[in-house]
Structure 1
């Protein structure tokens, strides 16, 4: 990491203070300072401390002013975490870094003091497109799973997961997703290009999830939960498998849920859908309206790729699911910048896509947010079907250096400061140029994230209860306010 970035992160650690337990007293701004951290385009500011400000009694907000309003008395969902996926690709690239770069990389993501404090990991159940090859954990035609082994993962993926867990400490949640059942279990006899799980393999496939969890936990890696199927309505050139809403519902209630329970894994969470926002309402309606299926579902995962057809992100669908089924949780399970192009490592709109999505998703009830690959090489891979993409950090194995993209810092404006068990707080902005969300950490610190999407610097007032402060945010910038 660049020296100025490291120094900025170290200064942030010094700012980190402890306030009263948020559960014991109502939040107050009395005697508090606002610590401002900024990342901005066309500057050297990257998660840099840029101001320390005070509060004063609030006056009536005016129409010709720009304002952000925070109401500490209105609390919503409990925050679970932010993180990214440890794929085969990420682990293979990590293994090729120098020891010094490996340490820098682990700190950059998983250290709260030196980096951005990730608290969430997604991984794959055998191969995805971001693997060097297709593979499973069993021999061909072994429907009884007698040959089940995760030896493949012990070379690259498991060692990286263990290092991430060690660096992060106790605040870490890990879940896993399958891209396709083994070829012999599918009607197409191929892991690639869609196809469906053959009915006679519903039970063996349910057993497979159990074997995976047991094998990983035997390695000392606690599994929080699983998703039923990555992108169950997409026929991809890579590993993929189609489940209609009714098929996923029935697989969950008749096979996966009961099988997990029967094997003593009823405490593991099961996440449905794990696909784009476009069809999530129909999937939620179908699964959650069936009590026998719904009882096994912790909540719903979703992705951001519904924009593939030229449309805009469908954030309202997230809110509709949250409003319709308030007892079920929402988790963003995957997003990345598609179509890798090394000329766009520092393309600012990529970072802003993260900011827009994260703020809207949190404000619509999402409890956790997971980026895709945490690390890729200078080609946007490895990927065995050439579906090359961006990651927040790239390891240029030819130049032997780590490349930090603006997306890394934009994600960090949330993940470093908002900690697990925080409560989302009512927040709104008076201008569309600004987006904002707020969380109250369990130690009593309030964290407000503000994003300026405009081409100009904006001076805005932060109203918190009956107090206010005035802050300036540069053009195309992200700020985190801690108070």
Structure 2
């Protein structure tokens, strides 16, 4: 079967809305879908169609949210000689296999779990189902801050007792035990494939050169010395504490945004140069994790976890050292400081140099409630990342309040879901539905296949995958002002032609075909 974006004029056998969105407008740009105790839309996606038919899922700025149309393949074939608009060709090579998908998800920040908990029990279940359930996004990845992040009510670590060199006062916070861990268990229950990875923003301040949670500062002394070894043991205690509460981590990044602590940014930071992390991994973190039973076969370590403008430097310094590289499986990056296309080309360069290490997008965040532009930005970032060897994508906070918080660093942002505790309702932003075009059709283990375009406009983005059940998925985005006729070669034995609508808000979707 095929899922493609954008409606065109075919002989339609069946058409229906993909959900029952209750629309509310906060900006002139687009709308949110409202969920309360009485109503909430779902993503009831038909993942199989009868042989010879195509399922088209369409979302756009003004009206559609994964609206579905079923058409016969023959109707598309018959249009090849009738195309009149700007034309380009997408050639798909299903024998040219690339990287596999690890997953998609979001971050269980303190702010997110507190916001979710501010809803009634019924709405908590509804929101979690919208993210992790079968008729939701089916998220299978969760990021977890170690201690506070900027999306917290206050700055703290899990051992704020000064000079506790035995870490005897280490303890999980209430945010962990009362809020986050129960929700992680719900996510796992809703999606058995769910996996979590942890990232620390800062060490305890008494371990740092500036004795502050934020601004410019790193660990006292150097890797191999007492503070670095203590910081490694802090990670071990954290992993074991969560395991004691029934949550086993799949992965760990060496830390969140090491460059932020070198620049002195105003949220939780821990500055580390590429050389610092290289030596920390080989002298302290790697050996400590291995000795505690968290070796490479039991825990996935990802380096960098920062913007793409520094990914090459960190990857080369760390992975060129075999003693450090032996502990590492992946390279994480954030979408900040991105420039199209150079940032994504950098990902390909890193992959080409270090093909044995997966590349994974571990954070993205923006602003503006109800904004369609952010849905497009998410889609471009995911599409271009996937086309340049990324294996998945992670959103920032799962939920914020209507002010974009809580956030002790005053770093207010939007989220895919916004919680209004006063009204006891939550809002699904446009990017929720943009994300669904990826999360619903690219399960874990889906493999990117080779593709090339001829005469494609610069504002059209595409990617092609084969799922584990041997289904071909094409995802396309047209951000231009013109309607475009697209011919696709590589399935159905003959070329198939369809149309990407002219509305620049029209967000292309998936064509799916059983191979």
TM-score, length basis structure 2 = 0.84
* SS of corresponding position for 2:229: helix
* SS of corresponding position for 1:40: coil
How far apart, CA to CA, are the structure 2 residues paired with 1:393 and 1:303?
20
1:51 aligns with 2:70: yes
Question: 1:98 deviation in Å?
Answer: 1.9
Equivalent of 1:223 in 234, 242, 249: 249
Corresponding residue number in structure 2 for 1:408: 432
1:124 aligns with 2:124: no
Equivalent of 1:265 in 288, 294, 301: 294
Equivalent of 1:207 in 226, 230, 233: 233
Corresponding residue number in structure 2 for 1:375: 399
1:395 aligns with 2:416: no
Q: Conserved in 2, the CA contact under 8 Å of 1:8 and 1:48?
A: no
How far apart, CA to CA, are the structure 2 residues paired with 1:40 and 1:64?
20
Equivalent of 1:347 in 356, 361, 371: 371
Q: Conserved in 2, the CA contact under 8 Å of 1:131 and 1:383?
A: yes
Equivalent of 1:196 in 197, 218, 238: 218
Question: 1:459 deviation in Å?
Answer: 2.9
In structure 2, the CA distance between the partners of 1:109 and 1:8, relative to structure 1 (3 Å rule), is: closer
Question: 1:90 deviation in Å?
Answer: 0.4
Corresponding residue number in structure 2 for 1:68: 90
Structure 1 residues 212-247: Cα deviation after superposition (integer angstroms, max 9, x where no partner): 111111111120110011000112211101000101
1:424 aligns with 2:452: no
Corresponding residue number in structure 2 for 1:27: none
Q: Conserved in 2, the CA contact under 8 Å of 1:53 and 1:469?
A: no
* SS of corresponding position for 1:109: helix
1:168-179 superposed matches below 5 A: 168=191, 170-179=192-201
Corresponding residue number in structure 2 for 1:285: 316
Q: Conserved in 2, the CA contact under 8 Å of 1:227 and 1:272?
A: yes
1:307-386 superposed matches below 5 A: 307=338, 314-337=343-366, 340=367, 344-386=368-410
1:157-176 superposed matches below 5 A: 157-168=180-191, 170-176=192-198
Corresponding residue number in structure 2 for 1:34: 54
Equivalent of 2:462 in 436, 442, 446: 436
1:252 aligns with 2:281: yes
1:13-28 superposed matches below 5 A: 15-17=46-48
In structure 2, the CA distance between the partners of 1:8 and 1:146, relative to structure 1 (3 Å rule), is: closer
Question: 1:368 deviation in Å?
Answer: 1.8
How far apart, CA to CA, are the structure 2 residues paired with 1:75 and 1:312?
23
In structure 2, the CA distance between the partners of 1:387 and 1:16, relative to structure 1 (3 Å rule), is: same
Equivalent of 2:114 in 92, 99, 110: 92
Q: Conserved in 1, the CA contact under 8 Å of 2:416 and 2:431?
A: yes
How far apart, CA to CA, are the structure 2 residues paired with 1:323 and 1:171?
29
Corresponding residue number in structure 2 for 1:137: 158
Question: 1:481 deviation in Å?
Answer: 1.8
Equivalent of 2:479 in 416, 437, 453: 453
Corresponding residue number in structure 2 for 1:26: none
Question: 1:155 deviation in Å?
Answer: 1.8
Equivalent of 1:111 in 133, 136, 155: 133
In structure 2, the CA distance between the partners of 1:53 and 1:217, relative to structure 1 (3 Å rule), is: farther
* SS of corresponding position for 1:171: coil
How far apart, CA to CA, are the structure 1 residues paired with 2:325 and 2:413?
35
Q: Conserved in 2, the CA contact under 8 Å of 1:76 and 1:423?
A: yes
* SS of corresponding position for 1:355: helix
How far apart, CA to CA, are the structure 2 residues paired with 1:306 and 1:331?
16
Gaps of 5+ in 2: 1-18, 23-32, 34-39
Q: Conserved in 2, the CA contact under 8 Å of 1:177 and 1:229?
A: yes
In structure 2, the CA distance between the partners of 1:429 and 1:399, relative to structure 1 (3 Å rule), is: farther
Q: Conserved in 2, the CA contact under 8 Å of 1:374 and 1:393?
A: yes
Question: 1:194 deviation in Å?
Answer: 2.8
How far apart, CA to CA, are the structure 2 residues paired with 1:65 and 1:285?
41
Structure 1 residues 148-171: Cα deviation after superposition (integer angstroms, max 9, x where no partner): 211421122112212222122x11
How far apart, CA to CA, are the structure 2 residues paired with 1:284 and 1:57?
50
Corresponding residue number in structure 1 for 2:168: 146
Q: Conserved in 2, the CA contact under 8 Å of 1:304 and 1:313?
A: no
1:471 aligns with 2:501: no
How far apart, CA to CA, are the structure 1 residues paired with 2:354 and 2:125?
42
Root mean square deviation, CA, Å: 2.3
Q: Conserved in 2, the CA contact under 8 Å of 1:18 and 1:443?
A: no
The answer to which of 423-432 and 249-258 deviates more is 423-432
Q: Conserved in 2, the CA contact under 8 Å of 1:35 and 1:52?
A: yes
TM-score, length basis structure 1 = 0.90
* SS of corresponding position for 2:396: strand
